[in-house]
Amino acid sequence: EPEVTQTPSHQVTQMGQEVILRCVPISNHLYFYWYRQILGQKVEFLVSFYNNEISEKSEIFDDQFSVERPDGSNFTLKIRSTKLEDSAMYFCASRDYKRGGDYNEQFFGPGTRLTVL
Amino acid sequence: ILNVEQSPQSLHVQEGDSTNFTCSFPSSNFYALHWYRWETAKSPEALFVMTLNGDEKKKGRISATLNTKEGYSYLYIKGSQPEDSATYLCAFIYNTDKLIFGTGTRLQVFP
């Protein structure tokens, strides 16, 4: 069964360093997302991406964050200069376009745990 | 600010018990409600997508109902098994396709 994959599963970095989190969405999906969960808090939306551009972003997704689909299969989240408060589990998700539209289920990857020291 | 709440936060039951938990969401501008099952170290797995008031969906021993007028959804597990142990997340969609998640209910089923 097709699945969303994410690498690495765990990333440890120093404050101020750049990190790139990688995701491979399900191959025929057209909509891509990043969410994160800070320990003890709710899963929160970061950004959605469609047709090679950002469709929507949250207040969290400031200039330090960027997303890219560099080669038609990978979907990446870059944090330019990490802060302690960026420590969280980051989830990638993807969604198909089919009848049902925006309601359709989003398929999630297993997450990357980012620890900023 | 749109708020989605789930209760209880955690639940411990014996194998064979039936259980249920609640997701509360804003009743205005409702588009859809998603239920996910999330086991530690695995991907959250979609259980149900619910869109219509009065919807009732079932997958094996798990079922869910939806009341959009009063803003709640129930998830039921009949005859809980240890493999049902997971965190159950609900997520609300109101005008775009971003998911607004609840806090989750952590279920532990003891043999």
Distance from the Cα of A47 to chain B's closest Cα (Å) equals 8
Residue B38 pLDDT grade (very low, low, confident, very high; cuts 50, 70, 90): very high
Residue A12 pLDDT grade (very low, low, confident, very high; cuts 50, 70, 90): very high
User: Are the Cβ atoms of B46 and A111 closer than 8 angstroms?
Assistant: no
d(CA B83, CA A34): 28
Give the tens place of pLDDT for each residue, A29-69: 999 999 999 999 999 999 999 999 999 999 999 999 999 99
Higher pLDDT, B108 or A96: B108
Q: Is the pLDDT of residue B28 over 90?
A: no
User: Are the Cβ atoms of B49 and A105 closer than 8 angstroms?
Assistant: yes
Of all residues in chain B, the percent with pLDDT exceeding 90 is 87
d(CA A117, CA A86): 10
Asked if the C-beta of B13 comes within 8 angstroms of chain A's C-beta atoms, the answer is: no
Asked if the C-beta of A98 comes within 8 angstroms of chain B's C-beta atoms, the answer is: no
Mean pLDDT, residues A98-117 taken together: 86
Q: Are strands A107-108 and B10-14 parallel, antiparallel or unpaired?
A: unpaired
d(CA B22, CA A33): 26
pLDDT for residue B2: 81
Of the partner residues B46, B93, B96, the one whose CB lies closest to the CB of residue A107: B46
Q: Is the pLDDT of residue A103 over 80?
A: no
Distance from the Cα of B17 to chain A's closest Cα (Å) equals 27
Count of other CB atoms within 10 angstroms of residue B73: 25
pLDDT for residue A24: 97
Contacts of A64 by beta carbon, 8 Å cutoff, 6+ apart: A79, A80, A81, A83
pLDDT for residue B62: 98
| Two structure tokens written together for A22 | 């990688």
User: Are the Cβ atoms of B43 and A42 closer than 8 angstroms?
Assistant: no
CA distances from A86 to A39, B83, B92 (A): 11, 32, 24
Q: Is the pLDDT of residue A99 over 70?
A: no
CA distances from B43 to A25, A111, B59 (A): 13, 7, 18
Of all residues in chain B, the percent with pLDDT exceeding 70 is 99
Chain B contacts in chain A segment 73-92 (CB below 8 A)? 91
Q: Is the pLDDT of residue B14 over 90?
A: yes
Whole-number mean pLDDT of chain B?
95
Residue B75 pLDDT grade (very low, low, confident, very high; cuts 50, 70, 90): very high
Q: Say if residue B78 is exposed, middle or buried (CB neighbours under 10 Å; 0-12, 13-18, 19+).
A: middle
Mean pLDDT, residues B51-80 taken together: 96
